[in-house]
Copies of this chain bind each other. A is one copy, B any other.
């Protein structure tokens, strides 16, 4: 190694095999020259709807929400997701501008790579292209399936779904701090804030969950699953 070169931390990055599989060490080092890491505090916006896309971004740590503003001006949350699931916006290869916004629900680290460089890699390394395509495709599929699932449930089923989603997919724990407000849950599953709260209260009365402000404990996960499926 030439010690005049800046050391490339990408080579040792735990995540390089997940997002940038099929790249040899040379390409990884090159990647370093075209990337930077950015830190976002809880609440900060990472991508803004309508903004020009010039980078490929992926989440290294934290939690984000993907959302858009509906024609009538309300916020519509498309999905809430952890690292790796969120590989940039989906539109990077098909659109010039972001279709959706992304913001941090927890402090988050984002790896930002110049999009032109990714495209260059794409052209000269088919295996890399296929690996990335497969990841983006998986994420897209997941979003579509989730949206369809939610749509076809009733009110209690949707709330049960969200609680299970946080428990199983986001926190891997039956006790967790809600990373979103009640209103955001409502925006996520498409119902009114009042009814989200009402439904949570009912779950509490039936001792399916315990609620202490933002902290939630899932007591009876089986019942929750039954409600979610039936809903």
Instruction: Please give the residue numbers on chain A whose beta carbons come within 8 Å of chain B beta carbons, in ascending order.
Output: 68, 70-72, 74, 76, 78, 90-95, 99, 119, 122-127, 129-130, 133-138, 140-141, 143-145, 147-148, 151-152, 190, 229
Contact = CB atoms under 8 A, between A and B. Distances in A.
Tell me which of A92, A125, A144, A151 has the highest count of chain B C-beta atoms within 10 A of its own C-beta.
Answer: A144
B136 A99 contact: no
A27 B54 CA distance: 32
B140 A133 contact: no
25 contacts: A71-B229, A72-B152, A76-B152, A90-B144, A93-B134, A94-B135, A94-B137, A94-B138, A94-B140, A95-B138, A99-B145, A119-B130, A122-B133, A123-B126, A123-B127, A126-B129, A129-B129, A129-B130, A133-B133, A133-B136, A136-B137, A140-B140, A144-B147, A147-B148, A151-B151
Given A123-B127, A126-B129, A190-B151, A137 B90 contact: yes
A122 B135 CA distance: 15
Contacts of A190: 151-152
B129 A95 contact: no
B144 A140 contact: yes
A129 B124 contact: no
Contacts of A129: 122, 126, 129-130, 133
Given A92-B137, A94-B140, A147-B151, 13 more contacts: A68-B148, A76-B148, A78-B148, A90-B144, A93-B137, A94-B137, A95-B138, A122-B126, A122-B130, A123-B126, A124-B126, A143-B144, A151-B151
B134 A123 contact: no
A129 B120 CA distance: 12
Contacts of A140: 90, 94, 137, 140, 144
B78 A144 contact: yes
A24 to B, nearest CB: 15
A97 B21 CA distance: 23
A130 B126 contact: no
Contacts of A92: 137
Contacts of A135: 94
